[in-house]
Chain A
């Protein structure tokens, strides 16, 4: 598998580290214990297209949001994660 880093171009998998699902959103400060438990521990095990966080630690050290099919490894979208290369996000 190769990932096309929006900053560096196409690179081999070995330069990247997988974090996991990019969907969970940190609950508000006053959210209950269930919401925090859900955010920290509970993950969907998706067979199909999912949004994932990847870290280009062997390259530009940017965090990326990768939309990948877990069955075929087909990647349909890659964008910088929020905060990575702040100028490029949303541009």
Chain B
């Protein structure tokens, strides 16, 4: 019988090679894949949106976003993904699907997306220029502030995009959640888009 390996690996395991690529000089773009997160989709049952919001508030200490926003709760980020639905992004199992079932039992349906999405963090002085090639969303600081989110498409692929907290040096961080099976394709498109600015590639276990 054939031997199977059931090790959990990132969908970008083969495509991602840590290092420095593209134009020489300082890297204008940094692409970091964030690995091993817990991601749960929470969708209100019909007519239960208010109850779901109340349950989220009780669980995370902050209201679930009603508009395209990413809200920081206790040990979790709540990211708007559509009307009456949001993602819970966290680490360490505290807010994994098994832990959330009870809290939303009366109001929402949950779906574990932890291994169904890839999380790519884009930063650097040329991050906006690079993303402008892929996205029609206006990412200007005055329009797309820290905490802004969008359910949108990049390179014909549905993504959830949001702006995380700025880095210590003041540079913006854009987080992209993409379907696992589309991740490699989008990753290569991102590399092509960033090459002219010079890019640094890494992966991390830390949520930004």
Contacts and interface: CB of A to CB of B under 8 A. Distances in A.
Contact of B82 (A14, A15, A62): A62
A85 B83 contact: yes
User: Considering residues A14, A60, A84, which has the most beta carbons from chain B within 10 angstroms of its beta carbon?
Assistant: A60
A43 interface: no
Interface size, B (range): 10 to 19
B136 interface: yes
A32 to B, nearest CB: 32
A59 B84 CA distance: 14
Interface stretch (B93-101, B108-116, B147-155, B189-197): B147-155
A54 B44 CA distance: 22
A12 interface: yes
A21 B101 CA distance: 40
Interface in A17-31: none
A61 B84 contact: no
A84 B83 contact: yes
Given A8-B68, A87-B44, A59 B83 contact: no
B140 interface: no
Given A8-B68, A11-B136, A58-B153, A85 B158 contact: no
Given A86-B49, A88-B83, 15 more contacts: A9-B68, A15-B152, A57-B158, A58-B153, A59-B152, A61-B82, A61-B151, A62-B82, A62-B83, A84-B83, A86-B44, A86-B46, A86-B83, A86-B84, A87-B83
